[in-house]
Amino acid sequence: MSNIIKLSATAEESIFPEIYFDLADENHFWCRGRIEAFFCLVKHLNISFLKPLRVLDVGCGNGVVRKQIETSTAWITDGTDLSYAALLKNEGARGNTYYYNVFDFHEAFKDKYDIIILFDVLEHIEQPLPFLRALSYHVHEGGWLFINVPALEWLRSPYDDVQGHVSRYTKKSLRAQLSESPFEPSVFTFWGFSLLPVVMARKIYLQLCKNNSDVYTKGFKPPFSLLNKGLSGLLKIEARLLPHVPLGTSLLGAARKRQ
């Protein structure tokens, strides 16, 4: 367990129940597919994995992304979240773990980071622009912001509702939000093309379910381990052989802080 550094006296609690952080581990096919797609995008941008870049994972949850990053790179990844219970599940990171609200603008963080990771956070925020401006305080000029969000509004299902997704994104809508922020949009790429039939099947299944009391488990956890392994392998092949799919269940974006 990480030693949590508490920098915010008060913060809004995470909307996610504790069960979500138990289900979303580094072996889950979606978590593995997301990091594969991210690493491919980083390589495309010629950002070094070998330099000890300073990274802030905003909304780090249980720390799965930090663990994946630090296992495969020399990056030092700090994590922050508004859920103390989730932060307690962070372990083994080289960086620090913070209970911290980015709107507090702590002086120690001003222009500190080379990269900010914002994975599956922006879709929960009703007013993204003030949030993006707050993030820009924490990264130096020319530093990177990487965003992952759910894609395509026609994929919306009861799972999005229980997750609190305000939006599902297209390249156009994500670029429009970033264009108004201190970040200059750079590259956008879909991933999860091979998951489209899976997510459509989930949508139909959850819509037909009379009892949606356990949507987190029904909508996120594969029913058996062999399916999880199969989908993990499929996403790995997609990331390496088809890095520029026309559509996908998720959208990755990269932007740089304007100079």
The whole-number pLDDT of residue 24 equals 87
Distance of alpha carbon 255 from alpha carbon 154, whole angstroms: 26
Q: Which amino acid belongs to residue 109?
A: F
The whole-number pLDDT of residue 77 equals 97
Give the pLDDT mean for 206-228: 83
How many degrees, rounded to 5, is the angle at CA 16 between CA 176 and CA 210?
Answer: 100
Q: At 213, is the pLDDT very low, low, confident or very high (cuts 50, 70, 90)?
A: low
pTM: 0.94
The answer, yes or no, to whether residue 223 has pLDDT greater than 90, is no
Between 12-21, 50-59, 177-186, 204-213, the lowest mean confidence (pLDDT) is in 12-21
Q: Are the C-beta atoms of residues 83 and 61 closer than 8 Å to each other?
A: yes
Distance of alpha carbon 88 from alpha carbon 62, whole angstroms: 7
The more confidently predicted of residues 257 and 214 is: 257
- What percentage of residues in the chain have a pLDDT greater than 90? 77
Q: Domain holding 140: CATH number?
A: 3.40.50.150
The domain in which residue 14 lies consists of 4-257
CA atoms within 13 A on the CB side of 12: 8
The more confidently predicted of residues 35 and 21 is: 35
Cα dihedral 88/226/30/193 (nearest 10): 180
Domain count, the chain: 1
Distances (CA, A) of 228 to 29, 65, 157, 184: 6, 18, 21, 36
The answer, yes or no, to whether residue 22 has pLDDT greater than 90, is no
Strand-pair category, 76-81 with 54-58: parallel
The answer, yes or no, to whether residue 13 has pLDDT greater than 60, is no
The answer, yes or no, to whether residue 11 has pLDDT greater than 60, is no
Distance of alpha carbon 198 from alpha carbon 221, whole angstroms: 12
Q: What is the pLDDT of residues 96-116, one digit of tens each?
A: 999 999 999 999 999 999 999
The whole-number pLDDT of residue 163 equals 87
Residues 6+ apart with CB under 8 A from 225: none
Locate tokens 């200059």: which residue?
184
* Helix or strand run (H / E) with residue 253: strand 250-257
Distance of alpha carbon 60 from alpha carbon 87, whole angstroms: 8
Closest among 152, 2, 141 to 81, alpha carbons compared: 2
Between 7-16, 25-34, 101-110, 234-243, the lowest mean confidence (pLDDT) is in 7-16
The answer, yes or no, to whether residue 52 has pLDDT greater than 60, is yes
What the block records as the tokens of 92 is: 């083994």
Q: What is the pLDDT of residues 111-137, one digit of tens each?
A: 999 999 999 999 999 999 999 999 999
For residue 44, the tally of other CB atoms under 10 A from its CB is 13
Q: Are the C-beta atoms of residues 220 and 25 closer than 8 Å to each other?
A: no
